[in-house]
Amino acid sequence: MTSLSVIGVPGLPEIAAGADLAGLICAAAPDLRDGDILVVTSKIVSKAEGRVVRGDRERAIDDEAVRVVARRGPTRIVETRHGLVLAAAGVDSSNTAPGTVVLLPEDPDGSARRLRKAVGQRLGVSVGVVVTDTMGRPWRVGQTDTAIGAAGLAPLRDHRGQPDTFGNTLEVTLAAVADEIAAAGDLVKGKTTQVPVAIVRGLAELVTGADGPGAAALIRPAAEDMFRLGAADVLAERRTVRDFTAEPVDAAAVRRAIAAALTAPAPHHSEPWRFAVVESERARTALLDDMLAAWTADLRGDGFTEEQIARRVRRGDVLRRAPLVIVPCLVAEAAHPYPDQRRSAAERTMFVVAIGAAVQNLLVALAVEGLGSCWVSSTLFCPQAAAGALGLPPGWEPMGAVGVGHAATPPRPRPERELERFMLTL
Ligand SMILES: Cc1cc2nc3c(=O)[nH]c(=O)nc-3n(C[C@H](O)[C@H](O)[C@H](O)COP(=O)(O)O)c2cc1C
């Protein structure tokens, strides 16, 4: 039978900047043994490392955060420079002098490595070290401690490929043992009882001679993160992409994005949105060639030279480069008739803005699926040529075209926009 002890280490003094944390821990826990795992609250690591700052908590969170993942009222869940996603960037105003806040250690894996080395030198023992912080979990009430730093410890135990008791091969089981150890330590540590350190004894098989990959190994790579986008990120995720990789577009993702487009608001409870998904190379070539001919004819009519025309039409290449083209269309049959031009035009505008809302939904939903898009005007300037080339049903008015694919390069940063310039508060 495997058994495990989790032992609180009382007797540590209040930690000040520059404190010899390893010395204090060794004095409080002189019977540390080979194979023990020291579980250390990040707060005392931060204090020893001088990561206590005077001033405003919100400002400190701004400085520590690289991305706001979710926000509700004053609560912000953010990603820190370390890649941790947690409330308030781990900035804490508890257990610190009034008017000061404690930041997370600059490099918690580095802190764990230094602590392990110093403890080893002092007591001649080989221990693992876990530096912990308290985090909430999405979908779960309450907080638990997790490992934000680790050294001398395999942070993950990989059961993948092993058979279970029924002989089925385990496919996803990767035990986050560093987090489990952090949570175990929290059972005996206390935020209010001055026990910021615990010893986990009985897991020597997880303690390694080398420092190992640290708790950084527990951070899920962005590309594998199904919940990457917080509510605050979703709209910002959509950017115009003009260069695509050759990777094909998942047809099911496109269908989900079109379903999202159909949730847009529309006048008179109407359903004015249609989407021509141009999958076949033949249909795409017909569309782009006919549009090119129409555009060239327009430019010749404007008096441009052949060289100028060639230069201009090259801009239309984005749709040739995109793995998939979708032509959003407006069906305005539900528009009410009016006897005068003013109201007729207003009615038309209503439907045109409605298709804009649907296309925005489409583009945002594609972005959430990890697909880049570029909505270009093209078909709007040659609606008959486009409708003819695609064989659109009567009443389908093409509203530009959307190139879809995987972005070949990351987008440039968005220009800063001063909110006040776009607002009138009356
Ligand atoms: C109705 C409409 C037509 C557009 N037409 C073109 C176009 O013909 N070619 C193009 O490269 N981008 C086109 N765009 C994309 C804009 O240039 C793009 O949205 C803008 O540069 C802002 O960049 P962002 O979308 O990444 O925020 C169009 C956008 C809209 C809404």
pLDDT tens, residue by residue, 260-271? 999 999 999 999
Nearest CA to ligand 1 atom 7: 376
* H or E segment and range at residue 134: strand 128-137
Q: What is the mean pLDDT of residues 53-60?
A: 92
| DSSP, residue by residue, 318-386 | HHHHSSEEEEEEE--TTPPP-SSHHHHHHHHHHHHHHHHHHHHHHHHHHHHTT-EEEEE-GGGGSHHHH
Radius of gyration of the chain (CA): 30
In 3D space, the residue among 395, 391, 400, 377 whose CA is nearest the CA of residue 327 turns out to be: 400
Q: How far is CA 34 from CA 4, 52, 143, 201, 280, in A?
A: 14, 33, 30, 9, 66
- Given this model, what pLDDT does residue 69 score? 87
Question: Tens digits of per-residue pLDDT, 94-109?
Answer: 888 899 999 999 999 9
Listed residue (46, 43, 76) closest to 62, CA to CA? 76
Note the residue count of the chain. 426
| 1 confidence band (pLDDT: 50, 70, 90) | low
Q: Which two tokens stand for residue 68?
A: 């706001």
**DSSP-assigned beta bridge partners for residue 401:** 376
- How far apart CA 70 and CA 87 sit, in angstroms, is 9
Q: What is the pLDDT of residues 202-227, one digit of tens each?
A: 999 999 999 999 999 999 998 888 88
How high is the pLDDT of residue 192? 63
pTM for this entry: 0.76
**243, 353, 375, 378, best to mutate for ligand 1 pocket (most atoms within 8 Å of CB):** 375
CA distance linking residue 276 with residue 306, whole number of Å: 32
**Maximum CA extent, the chain:** 94
Share the mean pLDDT of the chain: 94
Instruction: Outline where DSSP puts E strands in 210-338.
Output: 273-278, 324-330
Task: Work out whether the CA dihedral 71, 77, 79, 80 comes out positive or negative.
Answer: positive
Q: Tell me which residue has its CA closest to atom 17 in ligand 1.
A: 240
- Residue 154 pLDDT > 90, yes or no? yes
Q: What is the 3-state secondary structure (H, E, C) of 307-321?
A: HHHHHHHHHHHHHHH
Compute φ and ψ for 262, nearest 5 degrees. Answer: -75, 0
pLDDT at 51: 97
Ligand 1 centre to CA of 2 (Å) is: 62
Pocket of ligand 1 (CB under 6 A): 239-240, 242, 318, 374-377, 400
Least confident of 18-32, 185-199, 370-384: 185-199
Please name which of 318, 336, 335 lies closest in space to residue 376, comparing C-alpha atoms.
318
Q: Is the pLDDT of residue 232 over 80?
A: no
Percentage of the residues of the chain whose pLDDT score is greater than 90 = 84
Q: What are phi and psi of 294, to 5 degrees?
A: -65, -40
Rounded to whole angstroms, how far apart are CA atoms 34 and 13? 25
Ligand 1 site-directed mutation target among 374, 379, 397, most atoms within 8 Å of CB: 374
Q: With b meaning 16 or more CB within 10 Å and e meaning fewer, what string describes 227-254?
A: ebbbeebeeebbbebbebeeeebeeebb
Distance 326 CA to ligand 1 centre (A): 15
Token readout for 51 is 């990561």
Amino acid at 92: D
Q: Measured between alpha carbons, how far is 212 from 200 in angstroms, rounded to an integer?
A: 18
In Å, how far are 155, 181, 226, 238, 363 from 160, measured between CA atoms? 15, 20, 20, 36, 37
